[in-house]
Amino acid sequence: MKNRLKVLRAERDWSQADLADRLEVSRQTINALETGKYDPSLPLAFKIARLFGQPIESIFQDEA
């Protein structure tokens, strides 16, 4: 699954650690999400969507 996390984070001038603090996850989790090595659970995806004020489908896109 593709996502726009890195772009959205950069627009806010947040580091991976900043975003991790806001989402209450580890920095490694943010890194894995951004590099496509991990797809978040639904609760975390909703949390990300709420944080950036955007619908989930505008942040995460199915590659299929």
Residues that bind another protein (CB under 8 A): 6, 9-11, 13-17, 24-29, 31-35, 37-38, 40-41, 44
Nearer to another protein, 18 or 57 (CB): 18
| 17, two tokens | 């650690």
Nearest approach, Cβ of 34 to another protein (angstroms)? 8
Nearest approach, Cβ of 4 to another protein (angstroms)? 13
40 contact partners, CB below 8 Å, separation of at least 6: 33, 48, 60
Nearer to another protein, 28 or 54 (CB): 28
